[in-house]
Structure 1
Amino acid sequence: MNTIEQSNEVYSENGIIYPSKVMLDLADLKKVYPTPKGDYVVLEDLNLQILKEEFVTIIGHSGCGKTTMLSMIAGLNPISGGNISVLGNPVKGPGPDRGVIFQSPSLMPWMTALQNVLLGVNQVFPQATKGQREDIAKYYLHKVGLENAFHKKASELSQGMQQRVGIARAFAIKPKVLLLDEPFGMLDSLTRGELQDILIEIWNKEKITV
């Protein structure tokens, strides 16, 4: 995979000046799984730079390492070699600067839609009041069309509605990078189209890197 050239433009983030608009940087990334027959190399010499506010799609056949790469960027899977950084900061584990939407929403079934979104919001914005945190969660649930399902348990929601909660949860923590691991692959074509439109609409407004 070729490296995307950095822009010469300078921009600042939290008062720190960066020499380019590179948001996500993968340098010589490698992932190896040990097996009884020897090391199995999933990824090797992967170099990729994604700029701020870009929407990038990684295409490849099943088993080529797309999910492995995303899980390493998310900090959920340790790297075997190379480096991953967000705005120049090395990725050493999960963090609020990276949101993830999985193929399965992985909600807490006994919690309501609102409570599921608040799980992340409460962790990322502890300084905010309870009312402010609820306003954030409700805002994104409203954006995905669940304004009438705040207090429904996740187990009572359809698969499409659960994935809407997953989208709201990911955007609500206001990540710098949003990672999507085929989030609409298990949905019917109509629901998939609706959620794709919602995702693009929120991305156009939030202007985060996807």
Structure 2
Amino acid sequence: MFLIGLSGGIGSGKSTVSNFLRNSGIPVIDADQIAREVVKQNSKCYFLIRKHFGPEVINDADGEINRPYLAQIIFNDPEKRKLLNSITHPEVQKRTFLQILYYFITFSPFVVLDIPLLFESSIYKPYMSYTILVTCTPEQQKERIKKRNGYTDEEASSRISAQMPIEEKRQLADIIIDNSGDLEATIEKTKAVFRDLRFPLTFWIFRFLLIGLTLIPTVILLKLL
């Protein structure tokens, strides 16, 4: 099994590509989904967030983390953002590893890791056989998140600037999927990427070793019978 990293700036359309892959039967590990799970009510991260960010970060209605309120705090305070990352990232990494392990023992040939901050973090990227970046124009990026989240120009710019510039990510990515056109064009580009994907040498080495480890004991057993 090998790992493919999927990333993109906020509003770039990464989730569109990720959802298409998942609906096509390709295993996808969604770091954002895991991040939502680790802060659910009464979890370890939940209590740490309440301790460090105060009771105001908890919704009165359902007792869950008020994510928009927390996002507003961390996007305007880099130190608070680092603090939140130090609370949630270890748990996210642990659950991500367990999901990778599941796909490994169930013999999936590859797994896509949908990670928004793939290029900002040094944790995952060294283990990726390929990295895919979904992009669009800066103007589209801003307009999409304004429409999706109801942000002002200032709020949209703040969230974009909190991430690594898209041009820097382009230099680090192995494959670019341009999502500046319509949905159909993006889907076709995504299909082409995965159709032409080459399995790395390590994948074949591991496969041959696995076959050998399976066949050799079988042959020995047959000879003994």
Question: TM-score normalized by structure 1?
Answer: 0.29
Larger Rg: 2
Q: Which has the higher contact order (CA 8 A, sep 6+)?
A: 2
Question: TM-score normalized by structure 2?
Answer: 0.28
The structure with the greater share of residues assigned to helix is 2
